[in-house]
């Protein structure tokens, strides 16, 4: 059973001509216009301008609920880096999720949202002294340490009893893109299990009088499709628990659950994950005769990716030797993922249909690699002024956006029950100029 099958109905059916599994739950077609959360995409583009990142609130909440339903005994921790936004953090708090942050900046957003400190975890492969001080000042519940230097620094800064988790590199290949594989050996994340560094890190935390070891953490990568990869990581982590010689109360298995980006791609098998990982934890703990730890998981992309749609306006159509280029008013400044690791996207023209033709949708930036989608079908008469909609843009779009070519970053507009409201305003040229001295 997939994540999509576990989600409750939100009362709106998706038209069969829409690519199944890609669009927010409340998406439908009204004639040729796309309706997102009860609001026409053409009206959103006219009111808020383009590019515009649209986020369906009910879809976000439904996916958060699905994780809590599938894993009622686990702590579900929203990966805040996937969509750093105080309003989204408030939704997560209301749905009973915890939150992980990886910098003082993300923590500042959590504080602005009033997110409870006792449900915040800070981790990241490099935490500066400012990051650690911010975490200690706010009283975050746990800090995930990622280096021996960090253990020493946190031990010197912390008050007595700061809870700590040790990030372990379990040596598990998640069979994903190399740029988002974090569980294999010889990379920057965590302490190697195979080399003995992970066990040494556990001992060093225990030696720090101001720290209290509460758990182990691992993360094997992003866009992980195979539950078996999580099972293998679980086995290795419980083997380490058995070697620690101290009580390990929590086991964080990370996130990375895949989301479908292209037609035909499946959602993550959340029900299978819950059943198989729970079984593996219980079996391995019984085998090694150690107490069963509380499991934590960290979904981010799987909660927000398919809740997002980005609207662009076509600026120009150019015919090359073998391709037709449709150039839009955004690009790699609001979506660098195709350039970073070849991510693919579907594209739909809003407001009308027509005889389809394969085209390449490109951005406005001064890079040949600023390509948003290749070989997608759009009406042959696509022209300047048309509005295009790109689904599955809720995760890592706002987070990774930049000002390349000094292009202002787009707004994030939440839609729900026919009402649209900006939760992140559009950046302005005045915003850009404020930083220059």
Q: Are 253 and 127 part of one and the same domain?
A: yes
Mean pLDDT of 163-180: 74
Q: Are 241 and 267 part of one and the same domain?
A: yes
Question: Residue 253, SS3?
Answer: coil
Q: Are 187 and 315 part of one and the same domain?
A: no
Burial class (CB in 10 A: 0-12, 13-18, 19+), 259: buried
Question: Residue 161, SS3?
Answer: coil
Q: Can you tell me which residue has the tokens 């001295």?
A: 437
pTM, two decimals, is 0.92
Q: Are 173 and 225 part of one and the same domain?
A: yes
List the beta bridge partners of residue 424.
Answer: 412
Q: Are 197 and 155 part of one and the same domain?
A: yes
Q: Are 70 and 200 part of one and the same domain?
A: yes
| Of the residues 246, 273, 301, the one at which a domain ends | 301
Q: Which of 143, 141, 182 has the alpha carbon at shortest distance from 164?
A: 143
CA-based angle 169:88:262, to the nearest 5?
A: 65
* Contact criterion met (CB below 8 Å) for 295 and 281: yes
Spatial distance between the Cα atoms of 384 and 80, rounded to a whole number of angstroms: 36
pLDDT band at 3 (very low <50, low <70, confident <90, very high): low
Question: Residue 341, SS3?
Answer: helix
pLDDT band at 177 (very low <50, low <70, confident <90, very high): very low
pLDDT per residue over 257-298, tens digit each? Answer: 999 999 999 889 999 999 999 999 999 999 999 999 999 999
Active site residue 366: yes
Q: Which of 52, 85, 366, 408 is catalytic?
A: 366
- The dihedrals phi and psi of 307, each to the nearest 5 degrees, come to -85, -10
pLDDT per residue over 15-48, tens digit each? Answer: 348 999 999 998 999 988 999 999 999 999 999 9
Mean pLDDT of 153-167: 95
**pLDDT given for residue 178 in this prediction:** 53
| Of the residues 301, 316, 346, the one at which a domain ends | 301
User: Over the range 107-136, which residues count as b (16 or more CB within 10 Å of their CB) and which as e?
Assistant: bebbbebebeeebbbbbbeebeeebbebbb
**pLDDT given for residue 5 in this prediction:** 46
Q: Specify the long-range contacts of residues 102-107, CB closer than 8 Å, at least 24 apart.
A: 102/127, 103/127, 103/131, 104/128, 104/130, 104/131, 104/133, 104/134, 104/135, 106/80, 106/81, 107/131, 107/134, 107/135, 107/138, 107/140
The more confident residue out of 4 and 130 is 130
**pLDDT given for residue 353 in this prediction:** 87
Q: Are 87 and 191 part of one and the same domain?
A: yes
Flag whether pLDDT at 431 surpasses 90. yes
Q: Are 100 and 23 part of one and the same domain?
A: no
> Residue 226 is part of a domain; what is its CATH number?
3.20.20.10
Flag whether pLDDT at 180 surpasses 60. no
Spatial distance between the Cα atoms of 400 and 408, rounded to a whole number of angstroms: 13
Q: Are 33 and 73 part of one and the same domain?
A: no
List the beta bridge partners of residue 48.
Answer: none
| Of the residues 278, 301, 324, the one at which a domain ends | 301
Three-class HEC string of the chain: CCHHHHCCCCCCCCCCCCCCCCCCCCCEEECCEEEECCEEHHHHHHHHCCCEEEEEHHHHHHHHHHHHHHCCCCEEEEEHHHCCCHHHHHHHHHCCCEEEECCHHHHHHHHHCCCCHHHEEECCCCCCHHHHHHHHHHCCCEEEECCHHHHHHHHHHCCCCEEEEEEEECCCCCCCCHHHECCCCCCCCCEECCCCHHHHHHHHHHHCCCEEEEEEECCCECCECCHHHHHHHHHHHHHHHHHHCCCCCEEECCCCECCCCCCCCCCCCHHHHHHHHHHHHHHHHHHHCCCCCEEEECCCHHHHHHHEEEEEEEEEEEECCCCEEEEECCCCCCCCHHHHHCCCCCCEEECCCCCEEEEEEECCCCCCCCEEEEEEEEECCCCCCCEEEEECCCCCCCCCCCCHHHCCCCCEEEEECCEEEEEECCCCHHHHHCCCC
For the chain, the average pLDDT equals: 92
**pLDDT given for residue 284 in this prediction:** 96
Flag whether pLDDT at 432 surpasses 80. yes
Q: Can you tell me which residue has the tokens 């989600």?
A: 7
Q: Are 326 and 423 part of one and the same domain?
A: yes
Range of the domain at 357: 3-55+305-433
Q: Are 262 and 317 part of one and the same domain?
A: no
Q: Which of 115, 157, 296, 294 has the alpha carbon at shortest distance from 219?
A: 296
pLDDT band at 11 (very low <50, low <70, confident <90, very high): very low
Number of residues that make up the chain: 437
pLDDT band at 175 (very low <50, low <70, confident <90, very high): low
Quote the number of domains for the chain.
2
Spatial distance between the Cα atoms of 64 and 19, rounded to a whole number of angstroms: 22
Flag whether pLDDT at 311 surpasses 90. yes
**pLDDT given for residue 159 in this prediction:** 87
Token pair listed for 333: 């400044």
Q: Which of 376, 329, 335 has the alpha carbon at shortest distance from 357?
A: 376
**pLDDT given for residue 4 in this prediction:** 52
Q: Are 172 and 269 part of one and the same domain?
A: yes
Percent of the chain with pLDDT over 90: 85
Spatial distance between the Cα atoms of 94 and 88, rounded to a whole number of angstroms: 10
């Amino acid at each position: 059973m997939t994540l999509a099958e576990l989600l409750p109905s939100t009362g709106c059916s998706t038209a069969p001509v829409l690519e199944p599994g890609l669009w927010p739950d409340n998406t439908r077609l009204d004639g040729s216009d796309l309706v997102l959360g009860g609001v026409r995409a053409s009206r959103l583009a006219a009111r808020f301008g383009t590019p515009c990142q649209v986020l369906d609130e009910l879809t976000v909440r439904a996916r958060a609920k699905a994780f809590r339903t599938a894993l009622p005994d686990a702590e579900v921790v929203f990966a805040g880096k996937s969509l750093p936004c105080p309003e989204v953090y408030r939704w997560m708090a209301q749905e009973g999720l915890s939150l992980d942050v990886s910098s003082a900046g993300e923590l500042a957003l959590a504080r602005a949202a009033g997110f409870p400190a006792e449900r915040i975890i800070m981790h990241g492969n490099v935490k500066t002294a400012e990051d650690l001080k911010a975490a200690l000042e706010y009283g975050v519940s746990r800090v995930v340490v990622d280096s021996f230097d960090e253990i020493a620094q946190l031990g010197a800064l912390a008050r007595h009893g700061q809870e700590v988790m040790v990030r372990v590199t379990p040596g598990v290949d998640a069979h994903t893109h190399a740029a988002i594989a974090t569980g294999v050996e010889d990379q920057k994340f965590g302490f190697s299990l195979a080399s003995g560094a992970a066990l040494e890190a556990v001992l060093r935390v225990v030696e720090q009088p101001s720290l209290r070891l509460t758990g182990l953490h691992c993360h094997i990568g992003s866009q992980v499709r195979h539950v078996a990869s999580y099972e293998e990581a679980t086995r290795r982590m419980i083997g380490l628990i058995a070697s620690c010689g101290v009580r390990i109360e929590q086991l964080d298995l990370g996130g990375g659950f895949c989301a479908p980006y292209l037609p035909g791609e499946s959602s993550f098998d959340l029900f299978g994950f819950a059943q198989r990982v729970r079984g593996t934890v219980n079996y391995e703990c019984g085998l090694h005769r150690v107490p069963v730890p509380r499991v934590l998981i960290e979904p981010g992309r799987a909660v927000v990716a398919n809740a997002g749609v980005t609207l662009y306006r076509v600026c120009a159509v150019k015919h090359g030797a073998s391709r037709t280029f449709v150039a839009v008013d955004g690009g790699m400044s609001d979506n660098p993922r195709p350039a970073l690791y070849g991510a693919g996207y579907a594209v739909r023209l809003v407001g009308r249909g027509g005889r389809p033709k394969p085209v390449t949708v490109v951005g406005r930036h001064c890079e040949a690699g600023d390509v948003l989608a290749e070989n997608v079908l759009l009406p042959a008469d696509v022209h300047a002024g048309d509005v295009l909609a790109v689904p599955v843009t809720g995760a890592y779009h706002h987070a990774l956006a930049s000002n390349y070519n000094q292009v202002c970053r787009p707004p994030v507009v939440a839609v729900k029950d026919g009402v649209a409201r900006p939760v992140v305003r559009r950046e302005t040229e005045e915003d850009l100029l404020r930083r220059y001295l």
